[in-house]
Each structure stands twice: as structure tokens, then as C-alpha cells.
């Protein structure tokens, strides 16, 4: 199967932004020491976060990616699985993250709709929990993008992973937030 056939539908314009004032750092105590936030009194709610990362390729490499002409084979499925696995292990990778019982993780890989030689990785994480899943979505998108790099670096080391960011989150006391 050609690579393009295994991709998600092309991405669309960004979600409308939201304006939310920043709050004080919650992972620092009164003396400025790192601490894990106590979420025991927070309400259990449905939480969802969407994060993305972009992988930019030299034009000749991108043509081979789209054609499925790669030395390591199944690019998209390997990246998707790496993203899901990484999201599930976020608490092991990010020191102060809570271990969350994830309800679902979905990773999509799609070409840039503007025709630029790059792929967008989008990771959606969901949980019914006392704290958000932003880090799980960010770690999932990041690791899927790094896997795309790893599987294509033999073709050119000029591949760039960029633009890792939270796109949207919902649930919890602060409600819905969208990137600008």
C-alpha cells in the first residue's frame, strides 16, 4: 500500500483561539521547589487534549515518503503505535506527571494541506480523571514525530521536527482552551 493511502485525511485550518489568562505555576511549592500537584480534591471529569507536531522533509525525501519508497517500511503505522505507546508512558517520562488511566489515544499522520513537504502528527488523548491529559497528547505527538524522523533519516539528516504544541484541551475546572 502506498504511503498516501495509509494517511489520515489532510489537515484543516486551526481551531479558533481562546483567551485564558495564565495562572501561577502549580508544580512549585512556596520555596520554589518542584512538587507533584495534589489533585485529590479535584472533580473527576472527562478530559481531552489534542497536540500536534510537524515533520518537515527535503522535497526529494517527501516524494519518497508519499510514494511509500522507504528503507524501513511501514512508516505511518509504526509512528502511530509509537505515539500511542508514548502517551501511555508519559508519567514515566515527565517527572511530575500523574499516572492517568487513559480512556483512548488516537494518533493521525497527514500531509500539509497547503502542499508543503511536511507531515502533521496529531495526537488526541482522553481520560476520565482528576487532572488533564495535555502532557499525554504532547508526548504522543512528539514521539510519533520522532519515529517519523527515525524511519526516514537514512534518506537525509535534514529532516526537521518542529511546531510541537497543544492545540486544544477540554474538561476540568478551566474548561475548554484552544490555541491561537
Torsion sign over Cα 5, 126, 99, 55: positive
CA proximity to 54, closest of 134, 151, 138, 164: 164
Q: Flag whether pLDDT at 22 surpasses 70.
A: no
Spell out the domain ranges in the chain. 3-12+44-178
Alpha helices by DSSP H, listed for 111-164, are 134-152
pLDDT at 4: 53
Q: Residue 41 and residue 130: Cα distance in Å, rounded? A: 8
Q: Is 180 exposed, middle or buried (0-12, 13-18, 19+ CB in 10 A)?
A: exposed
Average pLDDT of the chain, as a whole number? 87
Catalytic residues, which ones?
Answer: 150
Instruction: Read off the pLDDT of residues 63-112 as tens digits, 9 standing for 90 and up.
Output: 999 998 887 778 999 999 999 999 999 999 998 888 999 999 999 999 99
In the predicted structure, residue 50 carries a pLDDT above the cut 60: yes
Dihedrals phi, psi of 160, to nearest 5 degrees: -125, 130
Element holding 85 (H helix, E strand)? helix 75-88
| Cα atoms in the Cβ-side hemisphere of radius 13 Å centred on 89 | 10
- Convert the pLDDT of each residue in 131-166 to its tens digit: 989 999 999 999 999 999 999 999 999 999 999 999
Specify the 3-state DSSP secondary structure of 68: coil
pLDDT band at 9 (very low <50, low <70, confident <90, very high): low
In the block, residue with C-alpha cell 504532547: 138
Secondary structure (DSSP) of 17-32 = P--------TTB-TTS
Q: Is the pLDDT of residue 120 over 50?
A: yes
Is the predicted pLDDT of residue 25 greater than 50, yes or no?
yes
- What letter would DSSP give residue 114? T
**What CATH number belongs to 3-12+44-178?**
3.30.70.640
Q: What is the pTM of this model?
A: 0.84
Cell triple for 128: 476520565
Q: Read off the pLDDT band of 40 (50, 70, 90).
A: confident
Identify the pLDDT of residue 1.
43
- Kindly list the distances between the CA atom of residue 69 and the CA atoms of 2, 74, 93, in Å, as whole numbers in the listed order: 8, 10, 33
Amino acid at each position: 500500500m502506498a504511503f498516501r493511502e495509509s494517511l489520515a485525511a489532510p489537515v484543516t485550518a486551526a481551531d479558533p483561539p481562546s483567551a485564558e489568562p495564565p495562572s501561577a505555576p502549580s508544580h512549585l511549592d512556596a520555596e520554589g521547589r518542584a512538587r507533584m500537584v495534589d489533585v485529590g480534591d479535584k472533580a473527576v471529569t472527562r478530559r481531552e487534549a489534542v497536540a500536534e507536531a510537524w515533520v518537515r522533509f527535503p522535497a526529494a525525501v517527501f516524494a519518497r515518503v508519499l510514494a511509500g519508497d522507504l528503507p524501513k517500511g511501514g512508516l505511518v503505522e509504526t509512528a502511530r503505535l509509537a505515539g500511542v505507546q508514548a502517551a501511555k508512558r508519559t508519567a514515566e517520562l515527565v517527572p511530575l506527571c500523574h499516572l492517568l488511566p487513559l480512556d483512548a489515544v488516537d494518533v493521525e499522520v497527514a500531509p500539509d494541506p497547503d502542499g508543503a513537504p511536511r507531515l502533521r502528527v496529531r495526537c488526541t488523548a482522553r481520560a476520565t480523571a482528576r487532572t488533564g491529559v495535555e502532557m499525554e497528547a504532547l508526548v504522543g505527538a512528539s514521539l510519533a514525530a520522532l519515529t517519523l524522523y527515525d524511519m526516514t533519516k537514512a534518506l537525509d539528516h535534514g529532516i526537521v521536527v518542529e511546531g510541537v504544541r497543544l492545540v486544544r484541551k477540554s474538561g476540568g475546572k478551566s474548561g475548554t482552551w484552544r490555541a491561537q
